[in-house]
Amino acid sequence: MEQNFATAVLMPIALGVIMLGLGLHLTLDDFRRVVLYPRAVIVGLLCQVLVLPAVCFGIAKLFALPPELAVGLMLLSASPGGATANLFSHLAKGDVALNITLTAVNSLLSLFTLPFVVGFSLNAFIGEGKAIPLQTDKVVQVFAIVLVPVVIGMIIHARSPAFAKRLERPVKIASAVFLLLVILAAVAKERAHLVDYFRQVGLAALLFNLSSLGLGYLVPRLVGLPRRQATAIGMEIGIHNGTLAIAIASSPLLLNNTTMAIPPAIYSLIMFFTAGAMASFLARQNEAELAAVKA
């Protein structure tokens, strides 16, 4: 399989299938829950949209990352959470309903914030003259590739929840297969540089991961949110959708740069261990809080 075929054909398919899968889990009620958790949602979105990109930018500067790796890490900072965040929040006894709401709202919000953050990053790290511009047609392509499958998934869920439920497993398998093929193609292309990339961006990705999880939990606690809501927000913004970031970086319709996909790939490996440790640590405390509420 040639790299051009992988990126030109499989990558858009993978991205579309991934977003379809997200849509299959969303309903309009997920967005209506914003009125039930206004303060928690606002705090979570502010952390995701403002705090994390600023922290990520500082980390990229601190480690003096090569420009394309810095842009890849910034792309990850603007990517929303997803089903994995919901899973870890559940394991940590967090407020999963809040996770679903944040995922729903932030997934749509990212259609606006992602182009802005990536455009800023390209200008800051690569330079305006060398930047890969996110022009109007690119923004339209993001909407077409990302939003349309989400809407289709939501329509399927609304009209036939049972059918949507049956689709979940094959959609997950299909997206995993397509993405694996693209990642293997990218690894084959970049294999001579992989060790160097990990050396260059591994510690930065780890620090950003720990910062995302830590700030996502501590900021809500500092403003007085309950522990379970803080846990949900911490998981939501600490477990970024690396799959989406890899897809955007690799797709020839968007950034078309496999080097920019390296930081999200490394981050995605790290976050399972750190999030698992955090979930294990918080689960007992959250369980006690939940028992007290029910008492």
pLDDT digit string, tens, across residues 38-84: 888 899 989 988 899 999 999 999 999 988 899 999 998 988 776 67
* Residue whose structure tokens are 């929303």: 80
Give the pLDDT score at 135. Answer: 41
Give the pLDDT score at 229. Answer: 87
What is the spatial distance between Cα 142 and Cα 251, in angstroms, rounded to a whole number? Answer: 11
Higher pLDDT, 98 or 64: 64
pLDDT tens-digit series, residues 190-222:
566 667 777 888 899 999 999 999 999 999 999
Higher pLDDT, 123 or 11: 123
Give the pLDDT score at 207. Answer: 95
Question: pTM here?
Answer: 0.71
**What percent of the chain lies above the pLDDT cut of 90?**
14
Structural domain boundaries of the chain? 3-289
Burial grade of 207 (CB within 10 A; 0-12, 13-18, 19 or more): middle
Using the predicted structure, report yes or no on whether residue 285 has a pLDDT greater than 50.
yes
Which range, 132-141, 154-163, 177-186, has the best average confidence (pLDDT)?
A: 154-163
What is the spatial distance between Cα 170 and Cα 188, in angstroms, rounded to a whole number? Answer: 27
- The average pLDDT across 85-107 equals 77
Give the pLDDT score at 146. Answer: 60
Using the predicted structure, report yes or no on whether residue 91 has a pLDDT greater than 90.
no
Higher pLDDT, 283 or 19: 283
Give the pLDDT score at 180. Answer: 65
Mean pLDDT of the chain: 77
Query: Which amino acid, 265?
Result: A
- The 3 state secondary structure assigned to the chain is CCHHHHHHHHHHHHHHHHHHHHHHCCCHHHHHHHHCCHHHHHHHHHHHHHHHHHHHHHHHHHCCCCHHHHHHHHHHHCCCCCHHHHHHHHHCCCCHHHHHHHHHHHHHHHHHHHHHHHHHHHHHHHCCCCCCCCCHHHHHHHHHHHHHHHHHHHHHHHHCHHHHHHHHHHHHHHHHHHHHHHHHHHHHHHHHHHHHHHHHHHHHHHHHHHHHHHHHHHHHHHCCCCHHHHHHHHHHHHCCCHHHHHHHHHCCCCCCCHHHHHHHHHHHHHHHHHHHHHHHHHHHHHHHHHHHHHC
- The average pLDDT across 243-272 equals 80
- The average pLDDT across 6-14 equals 59
Which range, 101-105, 184-188, 194-198, has the best average confidence (pLDDT)?
A: 101-105
3-289 has which CATH code? Answer: 1.20.1530.20
Maximal C-alpha separation, the chain: 62
